[in-house]
Amino acid sequence: MNAGGPAARLHIDWTRCDGRGLCTELLPEALGRDEWGYPVAAPGRVRSGRDATDVPLTGAELAAAMDAENLCPLLALRIIRP
């Protein structure tokens, strides 16, 4: 992450997410899966409480994040641009 903040954030709507895991396959650097299957921000990405739900992304991850947003079967993802 550069000093000027993340290029964008991936917002996870937990009320929709069912842990299908597609996003974690498209964004392996940013997201892992917890023991129940839900996406979890990679440890280095979480600097504040917000980062766990609005996961910071690098510019290089934006294209994959847009795929994840469009392909999530539960429409649980939204890219937030700064």
Partner 1 sequence: MSAATEIAAMQGGTAAGPAGPRLFAAGAAAGMAAHLAAYGEVPRHGRDWSLAEELEASGLTGRGGAGFGAWRKFAAVDHARRPNRYVPRTGGPVLIANGAEGEPLSFKDASLLHNAPHLVIDGLVAAAAELSAGSVFIYAGAANLAPVAAALAERADARHIALVEAPDTFVAGQASAVVNFLETGRALPRDLAARLAGSGFKGRPTLVHNVETWAHTALVARYGAGWFRTAGTPEDPGTRLVSVTGNVPSEVVLEVPGGAPLDSVLASAGVGSDAVSAVLVGGYHGRWVRPDGVVLSAAAAAGSTPAGGAVRPGAGVLHVLGHGRCGLAATAAMVDYLAGQSARQCGPCMFGLPALADVMGRLAAGTGGPGLVREVERLLALVAGRGACHHPDGTVQLVHSALETFADDVRRHLAGQCQEAAPAGGAVR
Q: Name the DSSP letter for residue 64.
A: H
Neighbours of 41 (CB within 10 A): 20
Among 37, 59, 63, 74, binds partner 1 (CB under 8 A): 37
Asked if 32 interacts with partner 1 (CB under 8 A), we say no
Asked if 20 interacts with partner 1 (CB under 8 A), we say no
CA dist 42 and 40 (Å) reads 6
Positions in 43-82 near partner 1 (CB under 8 A): 46, 48-53, 78
Asked if 2 interacts with partner 1 (CB under 8 A), we say no
Question: Judged by CB, which is closer to partner 1: 50, or 59?
Answer: 50
CA dist 80 and 57 (Å) reads 10
Asked if 42 interacts with partner 1 (CB under 8 A), we say no
Which residue has 């498209």 as its token pair?
26
Contact 52, 41 (CB under 8 A): yes
Task: Please give the residue ranges that form the binding site for partner 1 (CB under 8 A).
Answer: 12-19, 34-38, 40, 46, 48-53, 78
